[in-house]
Chains A and B, each alone.
Chain A
Amino acid sequence: MADLSVKVAGVSFDNPIIAASGTFGFGREYNEFYPLEKLGGISCKGITLKRRDGNPPPRIAETPSGILNAVGLQNPGVDVFIIDDLPWLKRQNTTVIANIAGNTVEEYCQMAEKLSETDVDMIELNISCPNVKSGGVQFGTSCESVGNITSEVRRRCKKPLIVKLSPNVTDIASIAQSAEANGADAISMINTLTGMRIDIGTRRPIIRNNTGGLSGAAVFPVAVRMVWQVSNAVKIPIIGMGGITTWEDAAEMLIAGASALQIGTVMFSDPYAPIKIAEGLNDFLDKNGIKSVTELTKTVIPW
């Protein structure tokens, strides 16, 4: 039995497998499949300062080896999360990451302040949601805006701060450097790639929001490339995600430069995927005589 535990910005995870924000709600539903303590952690559904109802449906379209989604951050608001969901989550013996999104920098700061007074383990700054009209990805596509929001939130946040990056940018490595220089404790990446599908009969986009975020196996090679590039550009740890479907993908993402992983879209076909991936990683480490999963991180031997 290898040691699967990892530390990201001083926070311990029993294994590197974290449920990805937006695919897992606040954990209650998947807890009806397996106890959440089998996961290293949970990144909760993105929360906003006030309740949001999200976009009108359809919110999803299937694509080759993936999906497009445009939920639009439906959530009950940070106060309801803190009162109704967080106490329950903290009893599940897993590491809890709160994912926050706002319309303005001030909203992000207010949420960070509120969550700093709770038992949440880490805060993930969602500046990469492509499916909301204001806020979201608008903060995440230039070095200047990423630097600004990171430093503003950092000043008012007492928890370890993860900045979640959008892949819809020209140079993700420089954006990651800007987050690091302004106080990010970790990077998580990648959020979804903006995409679109059209019904050729009605000539209407399948998603009511017209565009959506592409996730699933289709984006995995893009995610691996970007994690590798960012790992060469920053010293802070990276939580890698984007289309991880098998334990082999998980190992690959760690080798590319990730210290922990988030698993999302694959859950929709196999709810047990995170558990299987953790078990597969353990077997891989055992077979190769590797004592700790941390020994895989950034061991790629580039040409």
Chain B
Amino acid sequence: MKYDVRQLRLISNDRIADGIFDMRLEYGQDDLPVSCGQFAHVYVPGKTLRRPISVCDCSNGELRLVYQVKGEGTRIMSRMQPGGLADVLVPLGNGFDVQKGKKYCLIGGGIGVPPMLFTAKQCDSPLVITGFRDSSLVILQDDFKSAGAETALVTDNGTAGKKGFVTDVLRERIGEIDEVCACGPTPMLKAVADICREYGKPCQISLEERMACGIGACLVCAVKVRKNGEELMQHVCKNGPVFNAEEVVF
């Protein structure tokens, strides 16, 4: 059986920025076969749908999920108490394909930043560009540094790091980069993909869509892609969440 629902002990569930929470779950002795860019589907008591959350980190027996409180479901998640069990379907989806020896630029925008941490850990000294609306939302900067990444921080209003957008930094640095991986709001991903196309750099992007089953059965989390000249609907949960930016029809 490829899939299983796991009951994981909640170690901590702390607020780390305005509306952003850091959930750590214990998965015990056995390896959890998670690769960077995959996601966990978290059962929320009382809700009809699970909440898909990208894996922020998975090491030393801990699965780390950093998520934003957006509505009632994530609010209930944020009140889950340490010591209790969380019902989690993990790992799901196809993550980033990263190889040693390449120079990666990892780009995260807002709540798209967390999956780039686990990704950074699989790369050789990557450049990590993170962008946030303002200083109250900045997360994970120390974690990226500990992972051996060079970090560049931008905010829309300049209250933390440089004022500007992740794409400003990408344009400055693209000459030294082999490949880009990105996760964030759709306009940011489109802008990143456009720059990569302009400079001929491969680009992988992690997408988000309203989701139900998480395994490719219900077909709700559709994304339009172009393959061999033909447009078709694929699904974020099963074909993604990471796609080749060149194939995504924005």
Contacts and interface: CB of A to CB of B under 8 A. Distances in A.
A101 B231 CA distance: 23
A60 B217 contact: no
Interface string B226-238: 0000011100001
Query: Which range contains the number of B residues in contact with the other chain?
Result: 20 to 34
Nearest to B51: A62
A271 interface: yes
Contact of B213 (A23, A62, A217): A23
A30 B220 contact: no
Contact of B212 (A32, A45, A56, A60): A60
Nearest to A266: B48
A69 B220 contact: yes
Contacts of A54: 219, 222, 233
B1 A74 contact: no
B13 to A, nearest CB: 20
A45 B213 contact: no
Contacts of A216: 48
Contacts of B213: 23, 29, 267-268, 271
B145 to A, nearest CB: 36
A212 B213 CA distance: 17
A271 B89 contact: yes
A59 B43 CA distance: 20
B47 interface: yes
A206 B70 CA distance: 15
A88 interface: no
A53 B1 contact: no
21 contacts: A25-B217, A29-B216, A29-B238, A32-B1, A32-B3, A53-B231, A55-B222, A56-B222, A58-B220, A59-B219, A59-B220, A59-B221, A60-B212, A62-B73, A65-B48, A67-B48, A69-B212, A71-B218, A268-B48, A269-B47, A269-B50
Interface of A: 22-25, 29-30, 32-34, 45, 53-63, 65-67, 69, 71, 74, 206, 216-217, 265, 267-272
Given A57-B223, A58-B210, A271-B5, A22 B218 contact: yes
Nearest to B50: A269
B4 interface: yes
A269 B49 contact: yes
B198 to A, nearest CB: 27
A268 B219 contact: no
Given A32-B3, A67-B48, A74 B222 contact: yes
A59 B210 contact: yes
Nearest to B233: A53
B201 interface: no
A30 B216 CA distance: 9
Contact of B217 (A23, A34, A56): A23
B48 A32 contact: no
B48 A60 contact: no
Nearest to B231: A53
B80 interface: no
Contacts of B210: 57-61, 206
The CB with the most chain B CB atoms within 10 A, among A56, A59, A217, is that of A59
Nearest to A264: B218
A57 B209 CA distance: 8
A56 B218 contact: no
Contacts of A45: 219
Contacts of B220: 57-60, 69, 71
Given A62-B49, A71-B220, 7 more contacts: A23-B213, A60-B211, A216-B48, A217-B48, A270-B5, A271-B89, A272-B5
Contact of A268 (B50, B216, B231): B50
A48 B182 CA distance: 37
B75 interface: no
Contacts of A62: 47-49, 73
A45 B223 CA distance: 19
Nearest to B3: A32
A164 to B, nearest CB: 18
B79 interface: no
B102 interface: no
B216 A67 contact: no
Nearest to B89: A271
B100 interface: no
3 closest residue pairs by CB, A with B? A32-B2, A25-B217, A60-B220
Contacts of A265: 48
A79 B210 CA distance: 30
Contacts of B173: none
Contacts of A268: 48-50, 212-214, 218
